[in-house]
A = this chain, B = another copy of it.
Amino acid sequence: MRDVVVLGAGLHRFGRFPDKSLQDLGREAIKNALDDSGVPFKDIEVAYVGRVLAGMGAGLRVVSEMGQTGIPVINIEMACGSSTSAFREAYLSVANGVYETALVVGFEKMQRGMLQISEQTSYQTVMGLAVMPATYALQATRYMADYGATPEMFAQVAVKSHRNGVLNPYAQYQKATTLEEVMASRMIADPITLLQCSPTTDGAAAVVICAAEKAAKYSASRSMTVAGWATGSGKFQSNDESEGDAEANMGEVVRLARTAFERAGIGPEDVDVTQVHDAFSPGEIFTAEGLGLVSKGEGARAVWDGRTEITGDIPINTDGGLISRGHPIGATGAAMVTEIFRQLTGEAGPRQVKDGKAKVGLIHNAGIGGMNILVFKR
């Protein structure tokens, strides 16, 4: 497979936009990504679109806002992991020479109540486990017992995320919050309080990729290379509809991270900046451990000690993450790629890590049917 580079990325601000259509959101993100990349839309050969709730054929409706060039517009749905899956399909198609350039798009207008992942009649629903926070809460409770972590350490994830969101003009929440405020917010599933949950969000994100050998054509003065990837759905103990929700399966993170790092020829110690799927605050801690960024049981302490801050040695979710930037499920993965692109190109402004010298970025995005781990190098 040949090298593939990201040439540009763009967002529509994440937030609540009841008066805007999917086309409004997607058009702005795509235009921003195309402008950022220097690639004209007429050169785009295929579009892969992550979206979940938008309904039949939504990808074409949005992408054709740019013009009708006759390209395939392929909708990919893997719940919260949809647009890293779209990215992966686009990457593989360009890496294998099927296309020279590809557009990756993710968009969503969310509705409240999306957290219910099991059918009404399932065992999980009856037991109160059909909503994601419950699963995270049980894991967090066990983690506290095993490793001496405190509820405040989980809450600190949200403090950090909201602090980063203040620095991101595209974030849904641009307001700092104190540890006391996070702890005092409404309890959702002990120890997870409201401010530790990803909100209901509308938004769009787009990424332009290109075969590395063709990138010079676009006078690409900066880019990042796709260095490694891994995808899997995991194995689960339950046997109902929530099976395979990769968010809950940290063993799968370990396995896939190993594969992605092998493909990239590096290890977790080489990672400069990371985006993880923090749908709920414990997720960020467990995932950081699964990725090998910190040792097992040390994740909560790492957050507490400030190591995951923008100024820390293992900065995580520098754009505010799902909790503060927001989580329009079809768009989240592409937004993660966008933030890593900003960080590795040294264009992250006040969110910039490591004095603009970051060379390796890592992404973890989880959905139903697949978790994607992606490694990028400047």
Residues from chain B with a CB closer than 8 A to the CB of A59 are: 369
Residues from chain B with a CB closer than 8 A to the CB of A53 are: 56
Cβ of A234 within 8 Å of any chain B Cβ, yes or no, is yes
Cβ of A271 within 8 Å of any chain B Cβ, yes or no, is no
Interface residues of A in 45-74 (CB under 8 A from B): 52-53, 56-57, 59-61, 64, 68-74
Cβ of A184 within 8 Å of any chain B Cβ, yes or no, is no
Tell whether A235 pairs with B69 under 8 Å between CB atoms, given A57-B368, A369-B59: yes
* Residue in chain B with minimal CB distance to A77: B75
CA distance A70 to B350 in the complex (A): 40
Interface footprint category on A: 35 or more
CA distance A244 to B1 in the complex (A): 31
Tell whether A89 pairs with B74 under 8 Å between CB atoms, given A52-B56, A79-B56: yes
CA distance A60 to B78 in the complex (A): 9
Whether A244 lies near B73 (C-beta < 8 A) is yes
CA distance A262 to B117 in the complex (A): 46
Sort A-B residue pairs by CB-CB distance and give the 5 closest, nearest first.
Answer: A57-B368, A96-B96, A73-B369, A60-B369, A72-B370
Closest CB-CB distance, A329 to chain B, in whole Å?
Answer: 8
Cβ of A339 within 8 Å of any chain B Cβ, yes or no, is no
Cβ of A174 within 8 Å of any chain B Cβ, yes or no, is no
A-B contact pairs, 22 of them (CB 8 A): A1-B97, A56-B79, A57-B78, A57-B117, A60-B243, A64-B233, A64-B243, A64-B244, A68-B233, A68-B243, A70-B235, A71-B233, A72-B233, A73-B233, A74-B76, A74-B370, A75-B76, A76-B76, A76-B77, A92-B92, A95-B96, A96-B96
Interface residues of A in 332-371 (CB under 8 A from B): 367-370
CA distance A233 to B103 in the complex (A): 15
Cβ of A32 within 8 Å of any chain B Cβ, yes or no, is no
Whether A368 lies near B56 (C-beta < 8 A) is yes
Cβ of A241 within 8 Å of any chain B Cβ, yes or no, is yes
Whether B92 lies near A60 (C-beta < 8 A) is no
CA distance A61 to B68 in the complex (A): 35
CA distance A97 to B96 in the complex (A): 9
CA distance A245 to B117 in the complex (A): 32
Whether B96 lies near A92 (C-beta < 8 A) is yes
CA distance A89 to B90 in the complex (A): 10
* Residue in chain B with minimal CB distance to A236: B68
Cβ of A232 within 8 Å of any chain B Cβ, yes or no, is yes
Whether A367 lies near B57 (C-beta < 8 A) is yes
Closest CB-CB distance, A321 to chain B, in whole Å?
Answer: 21
Cβ of A124 within 8 Å of any chain B Cβ, yes or no, is no
The winner among A1, A57, A68, A92 for most chain B CB atoms within 10 A is: A57
Whether A79 lies near B57 (C-beta < 8 A) is yes
The winner among A72, A78, A255 for most chain B CB atoms within 10 A is: A72
- 0 or 1 for each of A241-257: is its CB under 8 Å from B? (1 = yes): 10111000000100100
